Structure 1
Amino acid sequence: MTDTTRVALVTGATGGIGSAVARRLAADTMAVGVHYAGNKAAAEELAAEIRAAGGRAVAVGGDVADEHAMAEAFDAVEEAFGGVDVVVHTAGEMLLGPVADFDLAALDRMHRTNIRGTFVVAQQAARRVRSGGAVVTFSTSVTRLSFPGYAAYAASKGAVEAMTLILARELRGRDVTVNAVAPGPTATPLFLNGKDQETVDRLAAQSPLERLGTPDDIAETVAFLAGPGRWVNGQVVYTNGGVA
């Protein structure tokens, strides 16, 4: 009997949003490649959790900006489950600071992860995702909100949006959708790190829903784009609770 299980690779799956996405896609009966860059133990734990709940998962490692490492990660998922249908690229780095004082070595490091890393993963996805599949990248609502201190980070995500929209058109005829999710303020360790409670409360109040987003909120949007949302293609989906 042919295995009809859809297969997803989630990069950065040990992060707050990445782990929520991996769990959500597993709940949709997808087999999941749980990708990690440095925290192998966390990835193995999440993969074991998914398997214990009746799903299928395997942990795969690699630097997203290293084309050889990511080719091996895709190979491992294909070997485990027979192919790749969905790629969700949540892996990224966020470093903040004003343009005038921003450390250029930090800029290079972040852009290597966020820009080159996205390009490397998108390149592998373009070569491998099967017909009927989906690619989901991650931007940020700050590309539109223009918060001071976010210039370097938002610039990297602007590049992600450009790649995403162009790749959607390059995959014409493949029946593969390509979209970017652009979260707003979301309660993850990456977002909360270095912010005092007053800042967190102020950001939470900006949404008409008067709260921060949660990783599960973001994962729901990803699940839609990765599953039934076949007519959404070449778009940046602002997933931010209405922050203007």
Structure 2
Amino acid sequence: MAEHTLQDKVAVVAGGAKNLGGLISTTFAESGAKVVVHHHSSGDAAEQTVKEIEDAGGQAVAVQGDLTRVADVRRLFDTAVDTFGGVDVAVNTTGMVLRKPILETSEEEYDRMFGVNAKAAYFFLQEAGRRINDHGRIISLGTSLLAAFTDGYSTYAGGKAPLEHFTRAAAKEFADRHISVNLVAPGPMDTPFFYPQETPERVEFHKSQALGNQLTQIEDIVPVVRFLATEGWWFTGQTLFPNGGYTTR
């Protein structure tokens, strides 16, 4: 991918059916990429995203999988290679949010949160490193809570925290193949995943902490991901915080 473009490249987008992942999928396709649209339980949305891409003249395929299962991660990349001949960009937008006090968190909730936010992310990085072409780009989605000091999100922020270390290690281990590995950590995003965890009062508080008194929009994050997948090739091993000033570090 030395030419720093998405034209004729193959992109795997985990969680690529809707919301942020869906917009990444369609934006990459508009830039000329062939897109593998992964989903866990959003089959209709995945098929709609694939249809939008194909209707616009692009190429895409939907793949269902539970990325906490290593076999499903491998099958996702197998599909990319079998369908389009390889992988040039791998983006993992998957995650699970839980706001709950430590004293009320069950073992099952802990295991589930770390399974989705840490284990799946680790083995996505692993398989991307095995299958991605030289000069490839690997991008994971974290959270600005990595730079925050707050209550309630111990298993969410805690589950995402290892991604920083995974990213740094992978950036070093894959560097000889000119593969960059980065983590994008947005502020609280205006998506359906955010609101069930918060009260109206806390939503307003989160808005007050960022530029323009607003939550992060998915349209604010997609250009950052696209930049890392193209012109931002010199960034690697980094955590980027596009959050409107929501946190400082």
User: TM tier, shorter chain?
Assistant: over 0.9
- Structure 2 CA distance for aligned equivalents of residues 200 and 20 of structure 1: 23
Once the two structures are TM-superposed, the CA of residue 135 in structure 1 deviates from its matched residue by: 0.2
Which residue pairs with 1:66 in the alignment?
69
1:181-196 map, 5 Å: 181-196=184-199
The worse-fitting range, judged by mean Cα deviation, of 223-232 and 204-213 is 204-213
CA distance in structure 1 between the partners assigned to 2:158 and 2:18 by the alignment: 21
Kept after mapping to 2: 8 A contact 1:209/1:242: no
Deviation of 1:160 after TM superposition, in Å, equals 1.2
Give the drift of 1:14. 2.5
Q: Indicate the larger mover: 206-215 or 29-38.
A: 206-215
Letter in 1 for 2:19: G
Report if the CA contact (8 A) 1:24-1:220 is conserved: no
Q: Give 1:131's aligned residue.
A: 134
Q: Does 1:56 align with 2:59?
A: yes
Aligned partners of 1:170, 1:37: CA distance in 2, in Å? 29
After TM superposition, the structure 1 = structure 2 runs for residues 2-151 of structure 1, keeping only pairs within 5 Å, are: 5-151=8-154
**Runs (4+) off by over 4 Å:** none
1:201 is matched with 204
Query: CA-atom RMSD, angstroms?
Result: 1.2
The total of aligned residue pairs comes to 241
**Letter matched to residue 174 of structure 1:** R
- Deviation digits for residues 105-133 of structure 1 (CA, Å, limit 9, x no counterpart): 10101111111101111111010111121
Q: Would you say the 8 A contact 2:98–2:197 is kept in 1? A: no
TM-score (normalizing by structure 1): 0.95
Q: Which runs of 5+ in 1 are unaligned?
A: none
Superposed, 1:206-225 pairs within 5 Å as 206-225=209-228
String of CA shifts for 1:75-133, please: whole Å, max 9, x gaps. Answer: 11112111100000011111111112212210101111111101111111010111121
Q: Match of 2:216, SS?
A: coil
Q: Counterparts of 2:81 and 2:203 in 1: how far apart (Å)?
A: 41
Q: Provide the rounded CA distance (Å) in 1 between the counterparts of 2:75 and 2:84.
A: 14
Distance 2:154 2:199 in 1: 20
TM-score, normalising length from structure 2?
A: 0.93
Structure 2 residue matching 1:95: 3-state secondary structure: coil
Alignment correspondent of 2:179: 176
1:49-71 Cα shifts (integer Å, max 9, x gaps): 11111211110111111111121
Contact 1:182 1:236 in 2 (8 A): yes
